[in-house]
Each structure stands twice: as C-alpha cells, then as structure tokens.
Chains A and B, each alone.
Chain A
C-alpha cells in the first residue's frame, strides 16, 4: 500500500444555490485562506497550485486567468485541469510523487454563471447529439432506464437513495438542501424525464473548495491526522451514448480496479469502511456502488433496502448527503474527498460515522452518463485520530523543515483578502 502523499488541509465555502453578494474571487480567496489556516501553512509553503474550473460554466475563456491570484497561484508552478476538482487533486498528487513538489494546493470553483442545461448541452457534439437538445437530465434519464430495464427494477430503490442522502444532508451544515424527504414524496415528485423525478435530481449549486496535499514526511509534520492517498484510478469511456453500455459503466469498474490495485484491496466492501460518491442523480448512486464493487451488478438496491448504506449502517454511503443535497459542478467531486477526510479525522460533527473507520472510497465523475470516473482510496493512520493541535504549534513544526521554512521566509507578499461582508 502506497503512503506517499496525504491530505493535510481543506476548506469549502458553504454550498448555496447562488450568492449574489460576493464576487468569484472573494469566494475563492476566502476558501483558500481558510484551508491554509486549517493546515497551519501560509501561501509561501505551497509549491504548486492546480485548479479546476470550466470556461463554459464561467462564461469566460481560460477561466483561471482572473482568479489565479485569488487562488494563490501568483508566481507558482500552476496548471488547470478542466475536469472535476478530484482530477485536479490527481494531477497535484502526480506532481508530489515525482518529488519536484512537496506541497500542493488544489482549488475548484463552480458558479452557476450560466444555466447548467447550457453547460451540459454545450458538451454535445455538433452533429449527432446537439440537434436533439440532449443535456444532463435527459441523458442520465436514458441511462437510468437502461439500468432499470436491464435488471428489472422499479423506481423505489432510487427513491430510497434520495431519502437516505437527504436525511444525512440535514446534519451537514455546509450543504444546500437540508430538508428530509419521504419515499412517497420522492415517488410523487413531478417527472422531469422518466424515470428521473425532481427529487431524484441534484440541485443547482455553487461553491468553492480548496484542498492541500503534502508529501509523506512533511504531511506528518503538518498534521497529526494525515489522510493518505492509498490508491487512485481513473478511466474514460466512449462518448456517444449509443456506442456504450449505459447500464454498466465500464470506465468506473476500471478506475476502481486501478485504485484497488494500488491500495492492495481485493474486496472493497470488506476492506474499506465507507464511500463518498458523486451521484448527479439518485439512480447513479446505485450504479456507482455496483461499479465500485460494493454490490453485485443490479444489486446496488440492497445497500439502501437493507439500510447498509445508512449513516448508522454497516457501510455508509454519502454520509455527507452527497451531491443530491448540493451539486456545485467542478467542485462536487473534490468535496467528496473533503467529506471523506472529515470522516477519517473525526471532524464530521453531526454526520460523523459512529463505527470505527480506517479507510474510505471517494468517487467522482464527469461527462454524460458516468463517461469518465475517478476513484480514490483514502486512509488514516492506524491509531485513532488525534485531537487537532493549536495552529501555532503546527506552524512551528513546519518551519523547522528546511525548504518550507526558507520559502515561507522569502515569500512574496500576497494580496490580502478584504475582510468581507457576511
């Protein structure tokens, strides 16, 4: 099992439908500063910055041009991945593995500057899908129906996913939809595109999220509770919806296999303790759990029917409420990593998983119908999470390490964030 880099800090802005009071750079700047504060680092300690955002969503070409300063990328080795933030974390992880960099800051931001339907419709090719007006909901609905008809299922298991995630979301102060819902209410909610009903769909959301990764030795100096990346895998399937088997996303199975091989996992259901998955729609969660190998094909429903995936179940899935309670595009996947890190370090508060957990799975997806998937295995040290030290002490420890100390001393002044309105 590889333990070469760990998550040592994070922060998110609360997921909201839309906050028209603040500019994007404020949202990002505050989030990055909060992540640095949490890990006791300053921007001078960061070696490389990788961001994730989308031109089409931001309505601006090269959308990192004007936010690179607020995300702390000024005069840094910087790059941008135009995928979910979980992919930006992957690229940062690769950079740490080479030893060129020792710390990395990952920043994802997603604002609904354009309606999500345009965002996803713009993903269609000009010849075969765009004329049909295919967008996220109808594409995933087509997939959901493929799945239901393949395994002769009805819509109730997916409704149970909604009930579970919404119940968890009530406990998560950072998420957007915090209203419980009953199975009957889900089933009665208006149909958007069969079988997807309003309650099966994730909301329209915006948020920013920052994550800090550090190399092995340094990670232990920064935090008593590093969350290790034990494995990561990702994969990409065919584009055209009619060219692949929508009911069984092969790229997900392959991504999971790659991550498990690195982490030395044979049976994920037994060797990991919980999962945070990016489910744009309720049906997706069932398919994702199967793709991750947590259930046999067509039997993802058992996880919700038997309460296994509940917060107090044997294998909690989306204890945070998942994307069904808040789906900021480009951020939602990175937030799954943050939520897993919160769980593994005992910082999840009201939605902390009560049983002893040592290892969790994180999943994120991008594209239509789970076309691209990324899977992480995250784990904590053997010992129980330690209480978090006062920030000052942590900072001193980092200062003792040669390079970071030098860098911090020689760092360029960074534009101070204005004390913002609340």
Chain B
C-alpha cells in the first residue's frame, strides 16, 4: 500500500505561555528543532503539511498564509489541514500521504496554536456549537465532555475517583517530560480530589491546561531513511475517521468511530491483539475520563472495561502497556499541536529518543488524536521495524 514512510525527526516547543515570541517564531522554533533532530536543513524539505485549529483562537483566518514561510514553506507546496482538536494528527497523516503517494520524498508536518493570544480559548471553542441550535447555551468544551464523562460513569458504574486517578497518573508521568506544562511536584490523589468542581463530574484536576505550542515531524520515503537516521519510526498504520453529531443512537461513552480508526490502523500494521502487541500508547486525554473511554475505543479492552484495565495498573509507567508517558494532553494542551504531540511522542518512543519518559524497549506505539464535537479521531501506529 503506497511507499513505506518513516518519521526521522521530531521537534517540539515547550507547552506554556510564550509571551516572548510571535506566532511565526513559535512555529519556527518547532521546525528548527525537528530539522536539527535529523540533521536536515530547510532546503531538504519538499512540501509542508500545515495544521492549526480554529481561527477564532488567534483571530487569524488562513493562518498558513502568514505562517508557512516560518515553517520553511517559502516557494514550496503547502496546504492547510484543519479538523479541530485532531488537527495535529490530521496534519501528520497529511504528511504521511504526501510521501506515501510518491509525490514527495521529504515532507514537514507542523501544527500548533497560541491559545494565549485570546482571552479565553473557551470563547473560540464556544463557536464550535451550531449557531442555529446550540450556541445559545454556548458552554465551551468542558461541559460537553462533562456530559460524556457522566454518561460513561453512570453507564458502567464507575465512581468519581477513577477520573481523578487517571489525572494523577498522567500528572506524575508529566514530571519526566520537559515539554509538559503542568508539572506539580508530589502531585497525589488528595491534591487532585481537593480541587474545585468546575462542571460536574469534572474538577479542575480533570481538565487540561491552556498552552501555546507547536510541534513538527519530518516524514521521509523509505529509500531516504537510512541516510538520515538509524533510528527511524516507521509508519505502520494511519487512520482518521469521523462520526457525526446528529446520528441516531449516539452514545458519547461509545466512540464507534475511534474503534473503526483503530481497526483500520491495526489491519495496516498487522496488529491482532493491541493490548499484547503495543508497547506504549499516547492518548489525547484532554479530560481525565477520556483516558478510560479511549482505552476502549482503541480496543485495548471491551466497552465498559476501561476502568478495570486501569485498576490492573497495565497502563501505568510500570505496567506492560504504559499510557501517556508524556503526561498526555491533560498536562499540556495547545489544541493545534496536542494531537501531533501524541504522534510525535509515540514516534520518539520507538526511536528510543524519549529521554526520561522512555518506555524501555518500545517497538510498537500508538498515537491518538481527538476533536470536533467528540466525533473525529486520528490514529498513527509507529514501529521500530518496517
């Protein structure tokens, strides 16, 4: 199926308020780090797959028009992908297709957002709601996910502590990640449980922070890989799927479109039992409960078993399938870059370049992205072997 493609370089900016740099400078920082990571220069880049989330975040329509040159896209083929929260994943997948199709050999995928340019990202997120039916009680993302979370809790009888525990696990992992935003020494269950309830069942601890960040990945065709690096992350499977918002029998606790994406990606990667075969997963858990829902979505366990899987400790750093060694989206969420961070972290794991958050001997990893009105999902599976 197409040409084999590998990720050879990854560049990340820190997730924080970048008060000291403009949007082009932020993007450039990620891109220069990705180029340095694999020893390429901007001249080697043949095309750019550009991602950024809703324009209302920064108030700039068609941001790629302004920002692409800061990504080395001057007089190169550039197009922008925009799929909401999944955009980082969608842009990475766009980068994959640009190479796998045979059109280009070396492609840069870059995605980011500077959420601190707006007074509140929730105003921008509120404009996701349908203007005719929904925006009248425009409530941003947390309340929509609160509905999803309560649905999940009540459907399967999990108590409130599961979300808190998932949050704590991620926050503790984030201590190993130099790019994460929320790094609280000694973070524990009591601290999380004592945070204020913002919208039931979500406490402050259940939510992601607001970050400025960009992330870049360099995709290279099979025959160019060995010259660039001896530690590539081979793309083994990709999928980006959509469900809807209106469809009948929709159950927010059962993301059927994520299951479908996983099935497509596993088929491409030749994975039959993801729980056994995968070595590490990076999930887009912008809210704590989603960690459990996504376990089920990507087929690590049956519907409703996510909490039980968590109980077994399998997904802890010490378990057999660590989830979010980086601390996940719960500890850093720029929206535009977040889904690409998941892919990039997954790639770094199989490259063996994840530093203090490295899962030893990781050979097969999965990076996930979530977006839209809880309806878009992206998955990339990376392997240290072709």
Contacts and interface: CB of A to CB of B under 8 A. Distances in A.
B244 interface: yes
A153 B250 CA distance: 62
Given A61-B84, A65-B373, A91 B94 contact: yes
Contacts of B132: 23
A246 to B, nearest CB: 15
A97 B372 contact: no
A75 B256 contact: yes
Interface in A116-142: 119-120, 122-126
Nearest to B94: A91
A383 B98 CA distance: 32
B260 A98 contact: no
Contacts of B127: 55, 59-61
Interface string A28-69: 000000000000000000000100001110011110111011
A122 B60 contact: yes
Interface string B56-98: 1101111011111100011111111111100000100110011
B80 A81 contact: yes
B267 to A, nearest CB: 11
Given A61-B127, A372-B78, A75 B62 contact: no
Contact of A235 (B75, B243, B371): B75
Q: Which of A65, A239, A372 has the most CB of B within 10 A?
A: A65
A82 B94 contact: no
B243 A74 contact: yes
A153 to B, nearest CB: 26
Contacts of A126: 59-60
A193 interface: no
B100 A82 contact: no
Contact of B260 (A23, A55, A75, A238): A75
A100 interface: yes
Interface stretch (B234-242, B282-290, B300-308): B234-242
Nearest to B80: A82
Interface in A220-243: 233-239
A237 B73 CA distance: 8
B244 A68 contact: yes
Contact of A56 (B53, B61, B74, B245): B61
Q: Which of A75, A98, A236, A237 has the most CB of B within 10 A?
A: A236
A387 interface: no
A24 to B, nearest CB: 9
B61 A78 contact: no
B375 interface: yes
A237 B61 contact: no
Contacts of A238: 69, 74
B77 A258 contact: yes
A258 B47 CA distance: 12
Contacts of B57: 61
Contact of A234 (B62, B64, B79, B130): B79
Contacts of B128: 60-62, 65
Given A56-B55, A61-B128, A98-B101, A77 B77 contact: no
A83 B80 CA distance: 7
Given A55-B56, A75-B243, A126-B59, A100 B2 contact: yes
Interface in A90-123: 90-91, 93-95, 97-100, 119-120, 122-123
Given A66-B245, A69-B244, A79 B75 contact: no
A83 B79 contact: yes
Interface residues of A, number: 60
Given A79-B94, A126-B60, A233 B242 contact: no
A82 B371 CA distance: 16
B75 A81 contact: no
Contacts of B185: none
A94 B360 CA distance: 36
A294 to B, nearest CB: 21
Q: Which of A77, A254, A366, A371 has the most CB of B within 10 A?
A: A77
Interface residues of B, number: 67
Contact of A69 (B54, B100, B245, B376): B245
Given A61-B54, A98-B101, A372-B78, A82 B1 contact: no
Given A97-B2, A97-B103, A236-B78, A77 B69 contact: no
B147 interface: no
Interface in A143-162: none
A69 to B, nearest CB: 4
B204 interface: no
Given A65-B128, A79-B93, A80-B83, A236 B73 contact: yes
B124 interface: yes
Contacts of B82: 55, 62, 80-82
Given A61-B124, A76-B241, A235-B77, A372 B97 contact: no
A48 B372 CA distance: 18
B246 interface: yes
B153 interface: no
Given A62-B128, A234-B79, A236-B73, A74 B66 contact: no
Nearest to B89: A79
Contact of B101 (A94, A119, A235): A94
B83 A250 contact: no
A119 B61 contact: yes
B59 A62 contact: no
A257 to B, nearest CB: 11
Contacts of B186: none
Interface of B: 1-3, 48, 53-57, 59-62, 64-69, 73-84, 90, 93-94, 97-98, 100-103, 124-125, 127-132, 239-247, 256-257, 260, 264, 268, 371-373, 375-376
Interface of A: 23, 49, 54-56, 59-62, 64-66, 68-69, 73-83, 87, 90-91, 93-95, 97-100, 119-120, 122-126, 233-239, 250-251, 254-255, 258, 366-368, 371-372, 415
26 contacts: A55-B55, A59-B131, A60-B128, A60-B129, A61-B84, A61-B128, A62-B53, A65-B375, A68-B375, A90-B79, A95-B97, A95-B101, A120-B61, A123-B66, A125-B60, A125-B66, A234-B77, A235-B77, A236-B68, A236-B75, A237-B74, A239-B65, A251-B75, A255-B77, A367-B62, A372-B79
Given A60-B128, A78-B242, A366-B62, 16 more contacts: A49-B242, A61-B56, A65-B245, A69-B247, A74-B247, A75-B256, A79-B83, A80-B81, A81-B81, A97-B102, A98-B3, A100-B1, A233-B77, A234-B79, A239-B69, A372-B65
User: Which 3 residue pairs of A and B lie closest in terms of their CB atoms, listed nearest first?
Assistant: A98-B2, A61-B54, A62-B84
